[in-house]
């Protein structure tokens, strides 16, 4: 992930000033040779209308020597680049390199600017570059995100996955106006609060004028009636009430991702619309696999926890052709995100069972009818062992089912569908299966329980 690499190669001098090595930066942006990158540095310097002293403060030459053997020394050219020098460099670089686009997102983020550019001499301004140049820079930086949003649309219309059904392109903000600066996809019909004072939209959004924000997703609420301040307080109380639940469901669905630290809050209300929270889509994440699936889960949680009603007849607006198609067609690497408790995992599990599929489906139905396990509605597809059942006994029960019916057990997939009584993932299930003793007390219990269930 480029942003993490840029953060890791950040250095500080003896005075506490932040800088980046030009050589390390060139490698991070995947330049084939340092000579090519040095040409970019020179281009960046020439584009600035500032004094030589100012240039020397931001593009500091730091040559060093290396021993190449036989007592021979080679002089290596390098620069210590200030934060603002890096910003100018990525602005002058070609947007055809996706690494450059991601680097712009890092160097032009609000957090970066507040931390490293606050007390610096401003090198880049509308007066220096001109408004047309800035518009061109922003447009080029937006291209890769426009392309990703366009790719999501193509994936969506060609998919039969449940969580990709019902999405629509709708660039409107609540009931007020259609934005020319946003690409917005909304999931299904909006939801209404029981008192019909709030309308909830579940969105994936990108602001084409702010590429540093990237693609983000979450819930946006329109205030239909009532005091705005009171309604915002209500939204935030709702968010705090379900935040832990959302983080747990999303983190379980996407192993290795810690959603508890990914929620971001907004600090303003615009045209009676407000985001209680939003999440950024990381550059290595796929819109359809992560953002769309997450929004599907979030909407389900809101609906179940707050009893929200579907609002029928959501308007579907025409796609704005001006921001639909990017100038460049980026060939992104295939992005695959592991997921648990999804229809995809369940379908793969059934397919792997082969001829044992129908036997399993009958067994699964009886487990649900006898309340040995229950479906967890927050997930696409998840079963949880009843809190009153003995978890170890249930695991032995599954093992006996496979053995008794001569079905090869697929613990690696079953563990991606089954939650323990506390609603947590059993990461050691596959390992525990190999050490089962068919003469143990738990084995005898599982045989008895199996016969009772199948009666």
- Can you give the pLDDT at residue 129? 47
- Can you give the pLDDT at residue 98? 83
Predicted confidence (pLDDT) per residue in 7-19, tens digit: 999 998 887 889 9
Backbone angles phi, psi at 409, to 5 degrees: -70, 140
- What Rg value do the Cα atoms of the chain yield, rounded? 27
Cα distances (angstroms) measured from residue 376 to each of 32, 62, 301, 302, 382: 51, 59, 11, 15, 6
- Can you give the pLDDT at residue 411? 86
- Can you give the pLDDT at residue 229? 87
DSSP-assigned states of every residue in 113-161? HHHHSTTSPP---HHHH-HHHHHHHHHHHHHHHHHHHHHHHHHHHT---
Query: Does the pLDDT of residue 32 top 60, yes or no?
Result: yes
Query: Does the pLDDT of residue 122 top 50, yes or no?
Result: no
Banded pLDDT at 157 (limits 50, 70, 90): confident
Predicted confidence (pLDDT) per residue in 312-327, tens digit: 544 443 344 344 444 5
Query: Does the pLDDT of residue 328 top 60, yes or no?
Result: no
- Can you give the pLDDT at residue 321? 38
Banded pLDDT at 177 (limits 50, 70, 90): low
How far is 437 from 409, CA to CA, in rounded Å? Answer: 16
Banded pLDDT at 243 (limits 50, 70, 90): very high
What's the pTM value of the predicted model, to 2 decimals? 0.69
How far is 198 from 267, CA to CA, in rounded Å? Answer: 18
Banded pLDDT at 118 (limits 50, 70, 90): low
Between 72 and 332, where is the model more confident?
A: 72
How far is 341 from 379, CA to CA, in rounded Å? Answer: 6
Average pLDDT, the chain: 84
3-state secondary structure of 261: helix
Share of the chain above pLDDT 70, in %: 85
Between 138 and 300, where is the model more confident?
A: 300
Of 35-39, 66-70, 95-99, the least confident: 66-70
Cα distances (angstroms) measured from residue 288 to each of 4, 150, 157: 23, 11, 11
3-state secondary structure of 372: coil
How far is 17 from 13, CA to CA, in rounded Å? Answer: 5
- Can you give the pLDDT at residue 102? 86
Banded pLDDT at 295 (limits 50, 70, 90): very high
Report the candidate in 192, 182, 143, 162 with the shortest Cα–Cα distance to residue 314. Answer: 192
Return the biggest CA–CA distance within the chain.
88
Chain Cα centroid distance, residue 132? 32
Predicted confidence (pLDDT) per residue in 188-214, tens digit: 999 999 999 999 999 999 988 878 788
Instruction: Please check whether residue 320 is in contact with residue 203, taking contact to mean a CB–CB distance below 8 angstroms.
Output: no
How far is 299 from 163, CA to CA, in rounded Å? Answer: 11
Banded pLDDT at 378 (limits 50, 70, 90): very high
Backbone angles phi, psi at 90, to 5 degrees: -70, -25
- Can you give the pLDDT at residue 126? 39
How far is 369 from 143, CA to CA, in rounded Å? Answer: 52
């Amino acid at each position: 992930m480029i942003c993490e690499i840029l953060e890791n190669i950040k250095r500080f001098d003896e005075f506490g000033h932040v800088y980046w090595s030009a050589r390390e930066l060139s490698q991070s942006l995947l330049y084939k040779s340092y000579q090519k990158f040095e040409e970019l540095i020179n281009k960046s310097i020439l584009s600035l209308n500032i004094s030589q002293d100012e240039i020397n403060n931001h593009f500091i030459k730091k040559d060093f020597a290396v021993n190449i053997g036989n007592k021979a020394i080679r002089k290596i050219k390098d620069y210590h680049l200030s934060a603002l020098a890096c910003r100018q460099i990525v602005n002058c670089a070609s947007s055809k390199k996706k690494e450059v686009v991601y680097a712009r997102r890092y160097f032009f983020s609000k957090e970066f600017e507040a931390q490293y550019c606050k007390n610096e001499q401003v090198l880049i301004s509308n007066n220096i570059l001109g408004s047309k140049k800035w518009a061109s820079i922003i447009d080029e930086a937006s291209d890769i995100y426009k392309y990703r949003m366009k790719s999501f649309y193509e994936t969506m219309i060609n998919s039969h996955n449940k969580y990709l059904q019902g999405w629509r392109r709708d660039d409107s903000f609540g009931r007020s106006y259609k934005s020319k600066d946003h690409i917005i996809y909304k999931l299904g019909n909006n939801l209404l609060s029981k008192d019909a004072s709030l309308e909830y939209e579940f969105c994936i959004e990108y602001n084409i004028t702010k590429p540093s924000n990237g693609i983000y997703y979450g819930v946006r609420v329109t205030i239909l009636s009532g005091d705005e301040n009171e309604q915002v307080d209500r939204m935030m109380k709702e968010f705090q009430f379900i935040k832990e639940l959302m983080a747990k469901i999303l983190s379980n669905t996407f192993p290795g991702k810690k959603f508890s630290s990914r929620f971001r809050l907004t600090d303003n209300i615009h045209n009676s619309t407000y985001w209680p929270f939003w999440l950024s889509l990381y550059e290595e994440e796929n819109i359809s696999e992560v953002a769309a699936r997450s929004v599907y889960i979030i909407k389900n949680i809101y609906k179940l926890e707050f009893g929200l009603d579907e609002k029928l007849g959501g308007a579907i607006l025409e796609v704005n052709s001006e921001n639909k198609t990017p100038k460049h067609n980026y060939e992104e690497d295939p992005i695959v995100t592991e997921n648990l408790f999804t229809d995809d995992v369940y379908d793969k599990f059934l397919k792997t069972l082969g001829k044992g599929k129908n036997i399993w489906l009958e067994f699964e139905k009886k487990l649900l009818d006898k309340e040995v396990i229950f479906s967890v509605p927050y997930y696409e597809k998840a079963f949880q062992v009843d809190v009153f059942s003995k978890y170890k006994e249930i695991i032995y029960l599954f093992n006996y089912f496979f053995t008794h019916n001569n079905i090869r057990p697929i613990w690696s997939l079953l563990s991606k569908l089954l939650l323990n009584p506390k609603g947590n993932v059993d990461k050691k299930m596959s390992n525990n299966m190999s050490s089962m003793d068919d003469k143990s007390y738990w084995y005898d219990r599982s045989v008895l329980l199996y016969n009772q269930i199948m009666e």
